Amino acid sequence: MSAIAVIAIFDVGKTNKKVFLFDEKYNKVFEESTQLKETADEDGDVCEDLTMLTEWVKNTFKKIIQLPGFQIKAINFSAYGASFVHIMEEGQPLLPLYNYLKPFPPLLEDEFYAAYGGKMKIEKETASPASGNLNSGLQLYRIKKQQPSVFKNIRRCLHLPQYLSFLITNKEFSDITSIGCHTSLWNFEKCSYHQWVIEEGIDKKLAPVEKGDKTVDVLYHDKRIIAGIGLHDSSAALIPYLINFIEPFILISTGTWCISLNPFNHTPLTEDELNNDCLCYMQYQGLPVKANRLFAGYEHEKQVKKLTLHFSKPVDYYKQISYDEAVIKKLTGGINLSDDVKQLSALQPDTFSSYEEAYHQLMINIVEKQVTSTNAILKGTAVKRIFVDGGFSKNPIYMNLMAQAFPSLEVFAASMAQATAMGAALAIHQHWNSHTMPGDIIELKMYTVPKG
């Protein structure tokens, strides 16, 4: 029996590190997942253990390449953004993989914006709301100013997805989706690095810029493998939708962050939008995507832990809870979620009679914030559909509340085998796969406003 031709995808999230094999029709034929212990940087702040991550990628690659029954024809990578790996001349990392939630020195941030025309000017030109280390370009600025001798010894700064590719290919690139994810590096108006990047000499530390469908050839034990250069995870998750749907839509990619992505909103960011945490991402072929982000998955995880302790329930008990219209009406008092409620009360478990009631309130709070976030990039566009993928797409309370909040739009829970990994595979389809792209990889379930 001949070996199955497959593409391997490394999908590195903050919590789960996964590897997939997809066949030529994009059926998942292999999956393996792990969680790696975190470590701390020199300031004691928690961060990814880069040594463990590096070893996991290398060892897993050696393992999958030897799996019987599969012929790995291609490989690609997706990973979370706002993260740099700094390598020395011989290719070894020089610094920790700093956490994008690490506090940024306020005085240094003030110095940066004062030196380059003010906060709003930089925010507008780079489509990046000021967010400290989440603006990963500022991570490089901090290293240069606070650790100049270390900065001097850095030969190359690679975004995390491109570092993963580098581990297998030994080739260095900067991918447009990673550069374009709120880094403060890219001037969206001029389609080039911002002037501050050049003036600080940071551009010399960055690898050549390529689109997300770039590939290189790798020889591994006389086997030719086509390798992608890696993609930012949120941009990768958008790819299957861009391929499968022509009519304007918004994708809400839900995970630790819930990111509303509107690839059909091409208006420049306004001051008001920036103040409401709007930003631009970049499609894998270089077009801007207006977006708004919400830390809702993180908030959900934190609040569920509180409910678990208070009501003495299993940590995943919420997965058993069905949508209850009567509970929603009791809690909202008839207020429509589409009314864009601004003030949300903190969740106090002891004010509720049951876990079920408290959890419904938690989801009301989250969806109220989601409405504000999504509306920020929806208004003034021809969007008729909202697709929700990721964790919340499987949550009936979230989905029913979203249908109520957007009664004039079609709201769908979208399901596919790992949207981020699938997007990374589809990005390089033409380089490894002679079959036509599949048109049925996304399963949709429509949610409507309950009657009565």
Looking at the chain, the whole-number percentage of residues with pLDDT higher than 90 is 83
Q: Two tokens at 15?
A: 């919590």
Fold type of domain 232-452: Nucleotidyltransferase; domain 5 (3.30.420)
CATH classification number, 4-229, choose in 3.30.420.40, 3.20.20.80, 1.10.1240.10, 3.40.50.920:
3.30.420.40
Looking at the chain, the whole-number percentage of residues with pLDDT higher than 70 is 96
Question: What CA–CA distance (Å, rounded) separates 94 from 220?
Answer: 27
* pLDDT level of residue 344 (50, 70, 90 thresholds): very low
Nearest residue to 379 (alpha-carbon basis) of 341, 336, 343, 409: 409
* pLDDT level of residue 440 (50, 70, 90 thresholds): confident
Over 60: is that where the pLDDT of 340 sits? Answer: no
Count of residues for the chain? 452
Tell me if residue 209 falls in helix, strand or coil: strand
How does pLDDT run across 368-384, given as a tens digit for each residue?
999 999 999 998 899 99
Residues 6+ apart with CB under 8 A from 62: none
Q: Two tokens at 157?
A: 């700064």
Over 80: is that where the pLDDT of 338 sits? Answer: no
**Average pLDDT rounded to a whole number, residues 139-145:** 98
How does pLDDT run across 27-51, given as a tens digit for each residue?
999 999 999 999 999 999 999 999 9
Helices then strands (H, E): number in the chain? 16, 22
**Same topology for domains 4-229 and 232-452, yes or no?**
yes
Global pTM? Answer: 0.86
Q: Where are the domains of the chain?
A: 4-229, 232-452
Q: Two tokens at 212?
A: 């997300």
